[in-house]
């Protein structure tokens, strides 16, 4: 147990573990110190100067997020000197900030806006810099507006934490700004589209490339039949946009809300998560039994796939050839569903609701055939619900539309790190050993960056690993290359904690992000749903049986490969 130290915050006695910062001590005392550059587990550099406080033994004001708490220290967080300093810091930021709050989608949920109001800032106290820079619309997934950036560097820290390094600090002093190498646009950089920069940004400098207007237009078009399907993790996060506690499962209200956007059908993407497992598990077993390329990596995360294509093209043969659940659903709808219902595929408008910005890029990949017309983030769906004037929390609980409504628990946990692995093991173990009854694999659950386990199935040792966050995926790849790591099957999700922490999820205030374990709370909602599901294995659901009986025959069949599988290729970047 760590040694405790005793100090006072605004004359309030508090004890904290040795090694704590003043910011930690203030929170333990129930005192809020404002921050902008600080973000728990992402960025802690003391550069924004918003968390300055007075502390005994210090010369001048000190940054609470990096200044160590000490025995007997007395800290004042709300003196006139501190307040004036924070106000001036904010007003200096506002002098370079594009003040278009009414047209900014972060209005009302912007950390700079909130603090400026709290500190009674004059946005025009300092002469504004009228220099304006072009907005970067180059990527189909993220838009970057340099003139809204406050140089907090949280996006840079998030990108570096992902071992991508697509953005960084350029220039010095007054001219310092965030950008890509050689001032190239985002699409030309090594960005993989994970969107962790977007959820880290405290203002509106980074946002998803929205296609909400396209969806409204399709709904209004009498020639179009519009279908939505929602990814597993969205039900565990959408409620946050409407004031629900983190980890609230709002599946029923989500379905009801989408249904009220217009004449649309609402399907469950967990169904094609199950379909992905059927194909992926069969592919894994085939590789094991025939001496195929091993280990096999999952391929349902487009940010991870792009990372491999750019940085480790030699690993492409190790990727599963399965499309992601999103793209499998697009293929299923534009073939099986259209054929069964006499619909011309060009008249079917397919909308995916996802926790991810990289899925927007995936829709545009030529290898995917354009079968998903657009992907909306959880944030975009929330905006559509608000625009439609719906009282989300007052909506009834409704079920998904048939025939794509019923899923297994394995499909539901896809949204959590380790979920794909566990769902695949449930099916693959039975394919290898028909008497294998275990359905819970707790060793691959949780938010640890890298999880490892070995299971004995049909007399074989199956070694597995799960990585979330691309820096951890890099660690596994380097271990495979130098011979220090040995696995048969590896799950990778680009976002730390998995899709529940995706770049398209609701943007929460720093006070929540810095105090709650979002990844665990959101994932818990999915595991609860899995536990109470009648079907635990993807192979057990009536929908999956129907799809194979009526259309694909067997997993990995010729028709299944035509519709549900794809290929990847090297993507050369600087």
User: Which sequence positions are flagged as catalytic?
Assistant: 280, 283, 300, 320, 359, 362, 367, 499
Question: Cα(372)–Cα(302) distance, rounded to whole angstroms?
Answer: 14
* Residue 158: strand, helix, or coil: helix
Q: Are 367 and 567 in contact (CB under 8 A)?
A: yes
Name the residue among 182, 179, 185, 209 with its Cα closest to residue 195: 209
d(CA 47, CA 263): 50
For residues 38 and 328, what is the distance between their CA atoms, to the nearest angstrom? 39
Partnered with residue 524 across adjacent β-strands are none
Which of 454, 400, 429 has the alpha carbon at shortest distance from 537? 429
DSSP H or E stretch at residue 545: helix 542-547
Q: Please, how many CA atoms are within 13 Å of residue 33, restricted to the half-sphere of its CB?
A: 32
Helix (H) or strand (E) holding 76: strand 74-76
| CA gap 73, 414 in Å, rounded | 47
With b for 16 or more beta-carbon neighbours within 10 A and e for fewer, the 320-349 pattern comes to bbbbbbbbbbbbbbbbbbbeeeeeeeeebb
Taken in order 94, 95, 98, 103, the sign of the CA dihedral is positive
Provide CB contacts within 8 A for 217, sequence distance 6+: none
E-assigned strand segments in 174-246:
177-179, 206-208, 225-230
CA 293/CA 315 separation, integer angstroms:
10
DSSP state of 538: G
Q: How far is 425 from 67, CA to CA, in rounded Å?
A: 47
User: Which residues make Cβ contacts (< 8 Å) with residue 56, sequence separation at least 6?
Assistant: 72, 73, 74, 75
């Amino acid at each position: 147990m760590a040694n405790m130290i005793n100090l006072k915050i605004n004359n309030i006695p508090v004890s904290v573990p040795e090694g704590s910062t003043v910011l930690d001590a203030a929170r333990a005392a129930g005192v809020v110190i404002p921050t902008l550059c600080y973000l728990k587990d992402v960025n802690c550099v003391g550069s924004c100067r918003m968390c300055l406080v007075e502390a005994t033994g210090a010369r001048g004001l000190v940054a609470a997020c990096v200044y160590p708490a000490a025995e007997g220290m007395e800290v004042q967080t709300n003196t006139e000197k501190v307040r004036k300093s924070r106000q001036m810091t904010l007003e200096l930021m506002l002098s370079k900030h594009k003040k278009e709050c009414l047209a900014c989608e972060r209005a009302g949920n912007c950390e700079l806006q909130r603090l400026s109001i709290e500190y009674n800032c004059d946005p025009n106290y300092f002469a504004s810099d009228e220099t304006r820079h072009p907005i970067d619309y180059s990527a189909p997934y993220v838009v970057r507006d340099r003139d809204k950036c406050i140089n907090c560097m949280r996006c840079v820290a998030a990108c570096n934490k992902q071992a991508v390094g697509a953005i960084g600090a350029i220039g010095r002093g007054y001219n310092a700004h965030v950008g890509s190498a050689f001032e190239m646009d985002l699409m030309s950089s090594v960005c993989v589209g994970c969107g962790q920069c977007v959820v880290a940004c405290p203002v509106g400098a980074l946002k998803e490339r929205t296609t909400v207007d396209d969806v409204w237009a399709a709904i209004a078009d009498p020639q179009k039949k519009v279908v939505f399907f929602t990814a597993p993790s969205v039900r565990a996060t959408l409620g946050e946009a409407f004031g629900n506690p983190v980890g609230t499962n709002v599946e029923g209200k989500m379905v009801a809300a989408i249904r009220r956007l217009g004449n649309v059908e609402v399907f469950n993407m967990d169904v094609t998560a199950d379909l992905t497992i059927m194909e992926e598990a069969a592919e894994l077993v085939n590789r094991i039994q025939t001496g195929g390329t091993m280990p096999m990596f999952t391929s349902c995360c487009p940010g991870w796939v792009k990372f491999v294509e750019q940085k480790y093209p030699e690993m492409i043969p190790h990727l599963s050839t399965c499309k992601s659940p999103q793209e499998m659903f697009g293929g299923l709808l534009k073939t099986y569903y259209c054929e069964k219902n006499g619909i011309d595929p060009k008249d079917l408008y397919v909308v995916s609701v996802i926790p991810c910005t990289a899925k927007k890029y995936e829709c545009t990949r030529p290898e995917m055939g354009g079968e998903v017309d657009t992907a909306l983030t959880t944030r975009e769906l929330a905006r559509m619900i608000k625009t439609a004037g719906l009282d989300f929390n007052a909506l009834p609980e409704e079920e998904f539309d048939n025939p794509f409504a019923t899923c297994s628990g394995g499909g539901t946990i896809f949204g959590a790190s380790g979920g794909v692995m566990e769902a695949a093991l449930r099916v693959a173990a039975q394919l290898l050993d028909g008497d294998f009854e275990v359905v819970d694999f707790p060793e691959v659950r949780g938010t640890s960056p890298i999880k490892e386990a070995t299971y004995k199935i049909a007399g074989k040792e199956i070694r597995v690993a799960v990585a979330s966050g691309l820096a951890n995926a890099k660690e596994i790849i380097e271990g495979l290359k130098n011979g220090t790591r040995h696995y048969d099957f590896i799950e990778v999700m680009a976002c730390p904690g998995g899709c529940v922490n995706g770049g398209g999820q609701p943007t929460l205030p720093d006070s929540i992000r810095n105090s709650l374990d979002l990844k665990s709370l959101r994932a818990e909602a999915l595991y609860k749903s899995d536990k109470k599901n009648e079907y635990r294995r993807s192979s057990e659901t009536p929908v999956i049986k129907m799809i194979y009986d009526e259309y694909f025959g067997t997993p990995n069949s010729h028709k299944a490969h035509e519709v549900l599988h794809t290929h990847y290729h090297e993507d050369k970047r600087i």
